[in-house]
Structure 1
Amino acid sequence: MSPLPWHDIDTVLLDMDGTLLDLHFDNHFWLEHLPQRYAELHGVSRVMAELELKPLFERHAGQLQWYCLDFWSAELNLPVRELKLETAHLIALRPDADTFLAAIKRAGKRVVLITNAHRDSLSLKLEKVELAPYFERLISSHDYGFPKENPQFWDALHADIDFNPARSLFIDDTLPILRSARNFGVAHLLAVSEPDSRQGPKDTAEFAAVGDYRDLIAGL
């Protein structure tokens, strides 16, 4: 990966899950813990639980309700917030993410968190990992009513924080979201090579990817 042109970057927009935080927590919760607890609480087999959950997950993926704990609590008749607490010990920073955050803040960059996470998920993670002091704003897509995949999210974000897309860096682990940001005009885009520490590197298609956050600090 080429060094970032930090002299051309004023604003750094950062995703949370899979970008700053290890995606293992979320993957484990949605793919392992939730199906198991769904089976136990609804009195069905684990296989049946997965058969019932899979089409629901597929139907709502990439939409705002996919990220909404209130929606899933009602849809599944489960206390999703409380179930998340049962695995909260898995919430963890990706290696050297805090080193990177401290460096860009010291360099005087404007740093904004933009996440699709529901406010309750965001609060839970901020209780476990001290992220808030690094950011000017902590923005959930639920604040605007559109997920980051939707072009209307970017219009709302621009109206809210008045950033210059041509002088902004955005890092995210989800390719459709990076493409949405690119379509809006965000000039500097990076994917994440290994969002889940237990699953190995992923294909980041046309996007350069960060593997080690220390590599991004060069030239700051």
Structure 2
Amino acid sequence: MPNYSEKPTIIFDMDGTLLDLAYDDFIWNELLPIRYAEQHNCTLEQSTQTLFHFYQQHNHTLKWYSTRFWTSQVGVDVLALQVEHKHKVAKREGCIELLSYLKDNGYPIWLATNADYAGLQFKLEETGLRDYFDVIVSSETLGHAKEFIEFWQALQQEYAFDPAHCYFIDDTEKVLNGAQQFGIEQLYSIQQPSSGKAPRETCNFPMLSSLIDLIPILERNDLAMSEEQKKYA
């Protein structure tokens, strides 16, 4: 019989889920092409095409998320670039309200991100979110990107959790597919990961318009679990 006295574990992605993806879009799609063009004495159009090719080649791999890799690949200190514009890092609306609600109500709160360790530490310091989480994991430390079931297997070995008794919220559908393959059932996406882009219209997973939309979902499920518990009383 399930242990209904335990709150489900809530696992969050970071960029595009708790944090506004507009910052990352600015760094990678606007600023880096300019710096690359300056560094390599080429046109902005050439720079953009070259970087797009790099991005496509390494998308959804650990290299894609590594600031060290990109620094060596493009000749621009990508982490320094992010720190230089740290004032643009922003929490998505409802982020603090949701995390505070979860903490006050005894939910285990985890952060599972593909951001490399250096980028993760930078954003945790800049946002002040570190103390909300019971577990913080970068895919770099587990050796697999979240898109793949091996990440979730490694996470479970490192920090035991029941995939049937947790929620995972992420803005990337391929990541959610990997979590689903592992066995996580309560999966939610984000309707508008970046404030600089229009909300998405379709997704294969239910989307949260606002982060606090998760609160009534949890409350309804808590009520259903309480009713189920009464059957065993």
Alignment counterpart, residue 206 of structure 1, candidates 197, 204, 207 = 204
> What residue in structure 2 maps to residue 156 of structure 1?
154
The equivalent of 1:13 in structure 2 is 11
Tell me how many residue pairs correspond in the alignment.
215
Q: Deviations over 1:100-132 (max 9, x none)?
A: 001111111111100000111111111210111
- In the aligned structure 2, how far is the partner of 1:44 from the partner of 1:128? 33
| Match runs of 1:130-209 below 5 Å | 130-209=128-207
**Taking structure 2 as the reference length, what is the TM-score of the superposition?**
0.89
Helix, strand or coil at the partner of 2:189: strand
Range with greater deviation from structure 2 (83-92 or 169-178) = 83-92
Residue identity in the other structure for 1:187? E
Alignment partner, residue 108 of structure 1: 106
Structure-2 change in CA distance of 1:189 and 1:204 (3 Å): farther
- Most deviating of 76-85 and 130-139: 76-85
Gaps of 5+ in 1: 1-5
CA RMSD between the two structures: 1.5
Return closer, same or farther for 1:7/1:31 CA change in 2, 3 Å cut-off: farther
TM-score (ref. length: structure 1): 0.94
Residues in 1 aligned to 2:187 and 2:22: alpha-carbon distance in whole angstroms: 23
Higher relative contact order (CA 8 A, sep 6+): 1
For residue 86 of structure 1, report the CA deviation from its aligned partner. 2.3
Structure 1 position 148, deviation (Å): 0.1
Aligned to 1:73, which of 65, 71, 74?
Answer: 71
Q: For 1:36-66, what per-residue CA distance to the aligned partner results, in whole angstroms no more than 9, with x for missing partners?
A: 1111121111011012111111000000000
Equivalence map 1:58-69=2 (5 Å): 58-69=56-67
Confirm whether residue 96 of structure 1 aligns to residue 107 of structure 2: no
Q: Distance in 1 between matches of 2:205 and 2:169?
A: 10
Paired-residue identity, %: 36
Is the Cα–Cα contact under 8 Å of residues 9 and 169 in structure 1 kept in the other structure? Answer: no
1:72-111 deviations in Å (ceiling 9; x for gaps)? 1111122111111222111000001111001111111111
In structure 2, C-alpha distance between the alignment counterparts of 1:79 and 1:52, rounded to whole Å: 17
2: CA distance, partners of 1:7 / 1:39: 57
- Flag the structure with larger Rg: 2
